[in-house]
Amino acid sequence: MVFPKLVITIALILVLFLFICESQGASYASASHNAGHGADINTSLAHQKVNLSVYYDSLCKTCAKFIIEDLRDIFGNNLISIVNLQLVPWANAYVNNTNKSISCQNGPDECELNSLESCALNLWSKVDIQYQFVNCFEFLAIKGTIKEWKEECLNQLGLPKEPFLNCFNMGNGTELGKTYINQIAQLDPPPSFVPWVVVNNQPVEKDYANFAHYVCKAYRGVVVPGVCNTLLK
């Protein structure tokens, strides 16, 4: 009885060993494949955009100002061509774990606007539409005409109302908020103020108005937008 057990054990160990060798071999093979093709690496780098994430609260004035005045430029100077822009509302919101409700820094109106923006960001994946929408909301927020949010921006941009209002009315914007809040909780270091601007995982801290400079510096591609030549001179 001892002998077959031993054989089975050895066989199992062998199989496991072979399996490990196989998978390591595969990863070595792919590493050396890449190393042998420098051009492939450079080509893929050339297409790698810079991640630009903006964590903000929808009723924060400095955030609105940043979004409306500074961020807008990337669509005019074509910096957007080398950027993956991610707008993340709910920066200073938190979930009360007792009753699962969300509280926002600037009160319930801000939670409402954060929800509306979350619905827009998730319904429309094109970044220029996302930006125009958030820009429209933030503009109204600064103006103080906050209750016109839902209708006015949809009308301005000519976007369909129904999916957007469904998302908001069904509470999906708030659910999305919980996802954003989780995402923000993973940030290292955590945001210490807003707007919190992060370029390829590196916060630019108080220098956020110069974010474009950091984007250009982080970019490794070959098709450099003209604005970077100016900024990095």
Ligand X SMILES: *[C@@H]1O[C@H](CO)[C@@H](O)[C@H](O)[C@H]1NC(C)=O
Q: Does the protein bind ligand X through residue 172 (CB under 6 A)?
A: yes
What are the structure tokens assigned to 67, written together? Answer: 């979004």
Beta strands at 50-55 and 196-199: parallel, antiparallel or unpaired: antiparallel
List 166, 179, 210, 230, residue binding ligand X (CB under 6 A): 166
What are the structure tokens assigned to 167, written together? Answer: 């998302």
Q: Does the protein bind ligand X through residue 189 (CB under 6 A)?
A: no
Contact status, residue 162 vs residue 154, Cβ threshold 8 Å: no
List 163, 205, 229, 232, residue binding ligand X (CB under 6 A): 163
Instruction: Please state the φ and ψ torsions of residue 50, each to the nearest 5 degrees.
Output: -90, 130
Tell whether the torsion through CA atoms of 161, 163, 166 and 167 is positive or negative: negative
Minimum gap (Å) between residue 233 Cβ and ligand X:
20
Minimum gap (Å) between residue 149 Cβ and ligand X:
17
Q: Which is nearer to ligand X, 101 or 210 (CB)?
A: 101
Q: Which is nearer to ligand X, 48 or 142 (CB)?
A: 48
Minimum gap (Å) between residue 98 Cβ and ligand X:
4
Beta-carbon count within 10 A of 75 CB: 16
Q: Does the protein bind ligand X through residue 98 (CB under 6 A)?
A: yes
Site for ligand X in 102-161 (CB under 6 A): none
H/E stretch holding 166? helix 161-169
Tell whether the torsion through CA atoms of 162, 174, 194 and 214 is positive or negative: negative
Binding-site residue total for ligand X (CB under 6 A)?
A: 17
Q: Which is nearer to ligand X, 4 or 36 (CB)?
A: 36
Site for ligand X in 67-86 (CB under 6 A): 84
Q: Which is nearer to ligand X, 48 or 78 (CB)?
A: 48
Q: How far apart are the C-alpha atoms of 177 and 88, rounded to whole Å? A: 9
Site for ligand X in 8-67 (CB under 6 A): 38-39, 42, 48, 51
Q: How far apart are the C-alpha atoms of 219 and 225, rounded to whole Å? A: 10
Contact status, residue 142 vs residue 61, Cβ threshold 8 Å: yes
Q: Which residues bind ligand X (CB under 6 A)?
A: 38-39, 42, 48, 51, 84, 96, 98-99, 101, 163, 166-167, 170, 172, 200-201
